[in-house]
Amino acid sequence: MTRLYLSLFLFVFISSPVFSQEPTVSEILESRIHGDPNKGVAVNGQELFSQIEVPKFYTNRNYELAWTDKKNIKDLLESIESAYDEGLDPEDYYYQKIQNLLDKKKSSSLTNSEEADLDLLMTDALILYASHLLEGKLEQSKLREKWDVEKNARPENVDSLLTVTLHNKQVKPALQTMKPAHYMYNLLKFHLKRLRGEAEEGGWPAVSGGETLKKDMDDPRILEIREFLTATGDLKSTAVNQESVFDEELENAVKRFQVRHGLAADGAIGKGTIEQMQVPIEKRIEQIKLNLERLRWIFHHPDEDFLIVNIAGFHVRRFTNRQEVFNSRVIVGKYHHESPVFKGEMQYIVVNPTWTLPYSIATNETLPKLKKDPGYLAAKHMEVMDRNGKLLNASTIDWSQYSRGNFPFIIRQKAGPWNALGEVKFMFPNKYSVYLHDTPSRSLFERQDRAFSHGCIRTEDKWGLLMSLMDDPETWNMEKINEILDSGETTTIKLPKPVNIYLVYLTAVADKENNLFFFKDVYKRDDAVARELDKPIYGSVGTR
């Protein structure tokens, strides 16, 4: 009988919870991080974003829970929820999963495994969201070739930074420092929220197509136009005018709308203006979202002094101490000869430049003309050299025997008013051989769409840019410039200090007066960015 009782006691004792209890949270965290060396850290089979910082972070804290402070949890959830206002998706940062686990924790209790999962998700969410704010969600170079802007630098020792952030309860301030520190980013966010609100209220009034409308015309469609422009803020009347006559007030509103949409501001409502008025508000919301992403790629901490060429907007601007000090219309690369996107450093200016034709232009465009007309070079003030730079007599060359594959010459256009680079070029050495320059084809600046070059940027206000960069009106004024021009000599001028220049592609921008501008997607890039931006972070092409 004693033996029977002993056996029963041993059976009950061995099968009791003391011997079958769940592993501790710390043991589970350690297992999640180091359990299988062939797999990354995962929660419910889904690998986390941070496979370096998360293991370091938990190893350094001996696998103790990190998210034990209510303020940190609250601040994280509110920050993730606000990702929507940044044009991002809170679900990329496990918002609902975290919320579900927290709700369960309030109503009952979590298993140790669920506690570990919740902690890992919150840690990874913070790192992932900070990364997207700092660098963008998408990998820009995978979306488009010819991207040469270095990524924003990540903080060093992220695991230690995370420890300090949680200890000091600074989740929100830490994330704020990751966002682009430029007014345009904040203003685009403002307009994103505004347009979303207007979309929820039904969007913008519809505008009908038809013949071109001009000032003093009487047409029923004028009422539609008035209502639409009032909704977009271009018509400032406190009450919509019920007159169907195209008056001066409406003409001014149309011009304002045209300027904001990169159209010729003639005040007439023609086909191009109607097309822009018929773009649905949802499309404009998408446009703002994808341009917020582009700003995250390039405008984290702008320089105190920089030039920026917006290829889509056909403009170059200079900002000094956050103030715009120069702007000019530009001509950019045509479709299939696109101006590249990159960051460079403007170092010097050349007045009375010569132009050495790129090999592709010399062989694809100039050589066929030479075969038809051997006098073409002389007519265009060009000269031919061998590969060592020795001048050759063009009249002695039989151009018919050469092709793209065996062209041993260099063709250069002499300095002068005929030169394709005009009277001045602004140099920022780069692998694309792209720079800013003048052009003899001045009438092209009056065009609405100014994509005509082979990739270089032609600037309208050439001398304004030179004098702005030299910043010495006593020396560098038109009298000095004309003196150099009259000499006919090719003259190189070193800048007092190099100035960073960004060639960017933005189809939605805002100025300091909070005016919202939309530009034509001249290179057809928007759809790819919008498509990838809307994909969930896991399993999407072009995301990390």
pLDDT digits (tens, 9 = 90+) for 217-226: 999 999 999 9
Q: Which residues pair with 72 in a beta bridge?
A: none
Q: What angle do CA 199, 203, 205 make, to 5 degrees?
A: 175
- Centroid of chain to Cα 115: 39
CA quadruple 394, 400, 401, 406: dihedral positive or negative? positive
Tens digit of pLDDT for each residue in 310-341?
Answer: 999 999 999 998 888 999 999 999 988 899 98
Residue 383 buriedness (CB in 10 A; 0-12 / 13-18 / 19+): middle
Do 336 and 143 form a contact (C-beta atoms < 8 A)?
A: no
Tens digit of pLDDT for each residue in 253-289?
Answer: 999 999 999 999 999 999 999 999 999 999 999 999 9
Residue that wins the pLDDT comparison between 5 and 123: 123
Q: Which of 107-121, 145-159, 518-532 has the lowest mean pLDDT?
A: 145-159
What distance in Å separates the CA atoms of residue 389 and residue 490, rounded to the nearest whole number? 17
What's the chain's average pLDDT?
Answer: 89
Instruction: Name which of 109, 288, 261 is nearest 194 in CA terms.
Output: 288
What distance in Å separates the CA atoms of residue 215 and residue 208, rounded to the nearest whole number? 18
Q: What is the mean pLDDT of residues 501-507?
A: 94
Q: What is the pLDDT of residue 119?
A: 97
Band (303; pLDDT cuts 50, 70, 90): confident
Tens digit of pLDDT for each residue in 132-142?
Answer: 999 999 987 77
Tens digit of pLDDT for each residue in 351-403?
Answer: 999 999 989 899 999 999 998 988 899 999 999 999 888 999 988 899 999 99
| Own/partner long-range contacts of 388-395 (Cβ < 8 Å, ≥24 apart) | none
Q: What is the pLDDT of residue 137?
A: 94
Q: What is the mean pLDDT of residues 25-32?
A: 93
**Helix (H) or strand (E) segment spanning residue 317:** strand 315-320
What distance in Å separates the CA atoms of residue 49 and residue 135, rounded to the nearest whole number? 14
What distance in Å separates the CA atoms of residue 42 and residue 122, rounded to the nearest whole number? 13
Instruction: Name which of 261, 88, 97 is nearest 189 in CA terms.
Output: 88
User: Domain ranges in the chain?
Assistant: 22-184, 205-279, 303-351+418-506, 355-414
Q: What is the mean pLDDT of residues 345-349?
A: 96
What distance in Å separates the CA atoms of residue 105 and residue 107, rounded to the nearest whole number? 6
- Please check the confidence at residue 541 and state whether its pLDDT lies above 50: no
The CATH number of domain 205-279, selected from 1.10.3720.10, 1.10.600.10, 1.10.520.10, 1.10.101.10: 1.10.101.10
Band (241; pLDDT cuts 50, 70, 90): low
CATH class of the domain whose range is 303-351+418-506: mainly beta
* DSSP state for residue 441 in the 8-state scheme: -
- Measured in Å, how far apart are the chain's first and last C-alpha atoms? 68
What distance in Å separates the CA atoms of residue 470 and residue 492, rounded to the nearest whole number? 13
- Please check the confidence at residue 149 and state whether its pLDDT lies above 80: no
Give the Cβ contact number of residue 203 at 10 Å: 15
Q: What is the pLDDT of residue 216?
A: 93
Phi, psi (rounded to 5 degrees) for 236? -90, 5
Q: What is the pLDDT of residue 271?
A: 94
Q: What is the pLDDT of residue 7?
A: 45
